[in-house]
């Protein structure tokens, strides 16, 4: 065990984690030149395309150190986006050390800091690395100062590297062996293995990745997952080279995989402890949490008769993404669909894209909202994941909404803009501190619902991209939330309802009506668009009548041409939804996301 090192790389998004990981694999010949594709660890198509790591993976590296001994280095790759921070934290818990990677042109960013805190929480040895030093804009000295300030190390302890050229990779490997402690643990003790990830394989079922803290797991053992209390047989176990490599046993200190024939990702919870049925560990590994979805939205098939097909796809998608939740939803406007829960907005985008790409489903996604809690005057507690679930205002005693702690790192010249933006979103400034002269950290407490819509985009445009952002939920607080309905020719469109803070409701209603006026095609009769809170109309727009005759161009008697045009029009209409007499195009259901100021 003394020659094992378990480590991960933590960094802000795009600071070059995957590229550096590739270099580590290449320089240790873990992977041959021929197999080398850029970013081998990002093996989902979508990951590669978006250039982000969505799920963490692990890989074993064999390395001969300058002391001439052979070492086994287990590299655990972690996702870089805030939506997946729980996964990061569990991957970190499986390591003894972390490379803290900072882009030399960017310096310390929000997720550098939040990931660092997660690593410190897990007692990891930190090896600071400045990456991308090959780039023209590299500010090595300045970034060194920032790192020294942040973690209190000596400047000479900071390694310099370039994932692009491979510069500094040798020094990193040496530091991993010399600085990161070998794992502790007793191979003879009752089994205690931490699940830090799982993947779905259509032939083998769910493959679970774990790090063994204590004990030994052998092929054929009967194992138990502590939090679900389910038992399985270890059909196959092994370690993770570039491919899975089967072994008879895996012991304390090591990282490995287990296949038990589990078909549903829900049975496998990241952070859970695996133990042996006949000799269970008395303690679960600390830090296990059920991940809760933060953002909810409806997903509906474009054609109502494609509902069954969509259900099938959702089932399959959930098999390999346990953090996706969904339940049946019926909407008068959109028919049968699902109310889905996501970890955050990026997660929602990923699910939508996977449905379209991997499953060939065209879907309508409705306005996302957070999960509110309504307390009725009778003392009942109602979880509201959908505007239609909000009890009638006359029955409500109070409503609570989720709050987050937001951390923003920026340049001093943008403080003003950020303050205006965050205070306008009901943020409360908690702290402002200078990390260095050119870098300031702002901490706000804010309602999550204000982040859901367009916060990222606004933050970016207000700071010309010089701001990084991270957040963590900090519980629920009382809020004055109202339900805003949209009526088209006096008919309520349930899929367009939104839950919104009362102070912003009128303004929001007016803008939404204006936006819908742009998005709805003119029809042969007048359309009234109204926004209402309860029975009170707060805004109205009209779309005047027009007669659209697509065959008008075809004077003369060419009937087949006329028919073709009518066919074409019918195709276009498929993406439309009939609300009463009004036809509503798909974009309109997401109009809320496109409101300008
Ligand atoms: N010039 C230069 N570019 C680099 C270097 N390392 C990474 N890059 C580029 O920076 C971009 C981001 O690199 P990635 O390795 O995908 O970053 P990441 O941190 O893994 O990103 P996430 O997985 O999304 O967190 C890519 O375009 C890389 O080609 C480097 O050392 N020098």
Measure 11 CA to ligand 1 centroid, in angstroms.
Answer: 10
* Distance, CA of 531 to CA of 509 (rounded, Å): 5
Give the pLDDT confidence of 512-560 residue by residue, as tens digits: 899 888 888 888 888 899 999 988 999 999 988 875 555 555 555 566 7
- Structure-block tokens of residue 186: 């007793």
Measure 51 CA to ligand 1 centroid, in angstroms.
Answer: 8
Contact 183 CB / ligand 1 (< 6 Å): no
Q: How confident is the model at residue 54 (pLDDT cuts 50, 70, 90)?
A: very low
The closest of 513, 449, 502 to 297, measured between CA atoms, is 449
Q: What's the pLDDT at 491?
A: 87
Give the pLDDT confidence of 302-347 residue by residue, as tens digits: 887 889 999 989 988 887 677 889 999 998 878 899 999 998 887 8
Contact 162 CB / ligand 1 (< 6 Å): yes
Phi, psi of 344 (to 5 degrees): 180, -175
Half-sphere exposure of residue 216, counting CA atoms within 13 Å on the CB side? 11
Minimum CA distance residue for ligand 1 atom 13: 16
Q: Is the pLDDT confidence value at 132 over 60?
A: yes
For residue 66, what are the CA distances in angstroms to 30, 70, 173, 511?
A: 18, 9, 10, 66
What is the DSSP secondary structure assignment for residue 222, as one 8-state letter? E
The closest of 162, 195, 165, 200 to 43, measured between CA atoms, is 200
Q: How confident is the model at residue 34 (pLDDT cuts 50, 70, 90)?
A: low
H-state helical runs in 268-324: 307-320
* Distance, CA of 532 to CA of 518 (rounded, Å): 19
Q: Which residue has the higher pLDDT, 54 or 366?
A: 366
Q: Which residue has the higher pLDDT, 155 or 38?
A: 155
| First vs last C-alpha separation in the chain | 59
Binding residues for GTP: 14-19, 131-134
Q: Which residue has the higher pLDDT, 508 or 346?
A: 508
Q: What percent of the chain has pLDDT over 90?
A: 46
Q: What's the pLDDT at 25?
A: 86
Measure 52 CA to ligand 1 centroid, in angstroms.
Answer: 9
What is the DSSP secondary structure assignment for residue 301, as one 8-state letter? E
Where is 444: in which H helix or E strand? strand 439-447
Most distant CA pair in the chain: distance in Å?
A: 91
Give the pLDDT confidence of 212-271 residue by residue, as tens digits: 999 999 999 999 999 999 999 999 999 988 778 899 999 999 999 999 988 887 788 888
Query: Of 8, 10, 18, which is best to mutate to test ligand 1, by the most ligand atoms within 8 angstroms of its C-beta?
Result: 18
Q: Is the pLDDT confidence value at 430 over 90?
A: yes
Beta bridge partners, 328, equal 338
Q: What's the pLDDT at 202?
A: 75
Q: In Å, how far from its chain's centre is CA 591?
A: 23
Cβ atoms 198, 291 nearer than 8 A: no
Contact 509 CB / ligand 1 (< 6 Å): no
170-200 b/e with 16+ CB inside 10 Å = b? Answer: eebbebbbeebeebebebeeebbbbbbbbbb
Q: What's the pLDDT at 55?
A: 43
For residue 263, what are the CA distances in angstroms to 223, 227, 359?
A: 16, 18, 19
Q: How confident is the model at residue 483 (pLDDT cuts 50, 70, 90)?
A: very high
For residue 1, what are the CA distances in angstroms to 29, 184, 214, 298, 526?
A: 22, 8, 12, 50, 77
Q: Is the pLDDT confidence value at 128 over 50?
A: yes
Q: Which residue has the higher pLDDT, 420 or 114?
A: 420
Cβ atoms 351, 342 nearer than 8 A: yes
Q: How confident is the model at residue 466 (pLDDT cuts 50, 70, 90)?
A: confident
Measure 355 CA to ligand 1 centroid, in angstroms.
Answer: 27
Q: Is the pLDDT confidence value at 130 over 50?
A: yes
Mean pLDDT for the chain? Answer: 86
Mean pLDDT value of segment 14-30: 88
* Distance, CA of 409 to CA of 60 (rounded, Å): 35
- Structure-block tokens of residue 386: 């959908």
Contact 134 CB / ligand 1 (< 6 Å): yes
Half-sphere exposure of residue 88, counting CA atoms within 13 Å on the CB side? 25
Supply the pTM of this predicted model.
0.77
Q: How confident is the model at residue 154 (pLDDT cuts 50, 70, 90)?
A: very high
Where is 49: in which H helix or E strand? helix 45-50
* Distance, CA of 383 to CA of 392 (rounded, Å): 14
Mean pLDDT value of segment 34-57: 52
- Structure-block tokens of residue 281: 């560990």
* Distance, CA of 371 to CA of 293 (rounded, Å): 9
Measure 74 CA to ligand 1 centroid, in angstroms.
Answer: 21
Minimum CA distance residue for ligand 1 atom 14: 16
Measure 60 CA to ligand 1 centroid, in angstroms.
Answer: 21
Q: What's the pLDDT at 53?
A: 41
Q: Is the pLDDT confidence value at 52 over 80?
A: no
Mean pLDDT value of segment 64-81: 87
Helix (H, G, I), strand (E, B) or coil at 567: helix
Helix (H, G, I), strand (E, B) or coil at 440: strand
Q: Which residue has the higher pLDDT, 397 or 320?
A: 397
Question: Which atom of ligand 1 is closest in space to residue 50's alpha carbon?
Answer: 24
Contact 323 CB / ligand 1 (< 6 Å): no
């Amino acid at each position: 065990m003394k020659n094992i090192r378990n480590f991960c790389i933590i960094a802000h998004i795009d600071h070059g984690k995957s590229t550096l990981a590739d270099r580590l694999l290449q320089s240790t010949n873990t992977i041959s030149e021929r197999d080398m594709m850029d970013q081998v660890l990002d093996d989902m198509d979508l990951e590669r395309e978006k250039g982000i790591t969505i799920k963490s993976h692990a890989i074993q590296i064999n390395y001969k150190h300058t002391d001439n001994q052979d070492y086994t280095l287990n590299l655990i790759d972690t996702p870089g986006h805030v939506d997946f921070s729980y996964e990061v934290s569990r991957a970190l818990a499986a390591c003894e050390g972390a490379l803290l990677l900072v882009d030399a042109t960017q310096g310390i960013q929000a997720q550098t800091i939040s990931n660092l805190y997660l690593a410190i929480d897990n007692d990891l040895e930190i090896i600071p690395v400045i990456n991308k030093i090959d780039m023209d804009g590299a500010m090595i000295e300045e970034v060194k100062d920032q790192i020294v300030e942040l973690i209190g190390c000596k400047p000479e302890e900071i390694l310099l590297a370039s994932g692009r050229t491979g510069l500094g990779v040798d020094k990193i490997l040496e530091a991993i062996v010399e600085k990161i402690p070998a794992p502790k643990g007793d191979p003879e003790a009752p089994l205690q293995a931490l699940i830090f990830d799982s993947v779905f394989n259509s032939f083998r079922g769910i493959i679970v990745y774990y790090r063994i803290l204590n004990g030994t797991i052998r092929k054929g053992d009967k194992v138990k997952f502590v939090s679900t209390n389910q038992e399985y047989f270890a059909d196959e176990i092994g370690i993770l080279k570039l491919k899975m490599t089967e072994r008879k046993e895996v012991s304390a200190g090591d990282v490995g995989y287990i296949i038990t024939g589990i078909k549903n990702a829900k049975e496998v919870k990241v952070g859970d402890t695996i133990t042996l049925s006949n000799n269970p560990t008395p303690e679960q590994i600390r830090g296990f949490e059920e991940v809760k979805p933060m953002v909810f939205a409806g997903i509906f098939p474009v054609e109502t008769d494609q509902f069954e097909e969509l259900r099938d796809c959702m089932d399959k998608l959930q098999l390999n993404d346990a953090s996706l939740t969904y339940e049946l939803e019926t909407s008068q406007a959109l028919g049968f669909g699902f109310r889905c829960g996501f970890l955050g907005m990026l997660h929602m985008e990923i699910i939508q894209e996977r449905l379209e790409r991997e499953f060939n489903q065209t879907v309508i996604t409705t306005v996302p909202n957070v999960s509110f809690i309504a307390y009725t005057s009778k003392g009942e507690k109602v979880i509201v994941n959908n505007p239609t679930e909000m009890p009638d205002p006359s029955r409500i005693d109070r409503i609570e909404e989720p709050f987050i702690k937001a951390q923003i790192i920026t340049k001093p010249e943008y403080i003003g803009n950020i303050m205006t933006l965050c205070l306008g979103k009901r943020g409360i400034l908690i702290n402002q501190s200078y990390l260095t002269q050119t870098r300031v950290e702002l901490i706000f407490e804010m309602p999550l619902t204000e982040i859901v819509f367009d916060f990222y985009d606004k933050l970016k445009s207000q700071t010309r991209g010089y701001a990084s952002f991270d957040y963590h939920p900090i519980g629920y607080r009382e809020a004055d939330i109202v339900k805003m309905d949209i009526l088209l020719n006096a008919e309520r469109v349930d899929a367009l309802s939104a839950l919104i803070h009362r102070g912003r409701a009128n303004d929001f209603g007016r803008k939404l009506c204006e936006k819908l006026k742009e998005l709805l095609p003119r029809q042969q009769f007048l359309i009234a668009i109204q926004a209402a809170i309860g029975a009170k109309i707060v805004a109205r727009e009209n779309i005047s009548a027009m007669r659209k005759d697509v065959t008008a161009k075809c004077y003369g008697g060419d009937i087949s041409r006329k028919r073709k045009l009518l066919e074409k029009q019918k195709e276009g209409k498929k993406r439309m939804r009939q609300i009463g007499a009004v036809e509503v195009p798909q974009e309109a259901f997401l109009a809320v996301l496109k409101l300008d100021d």
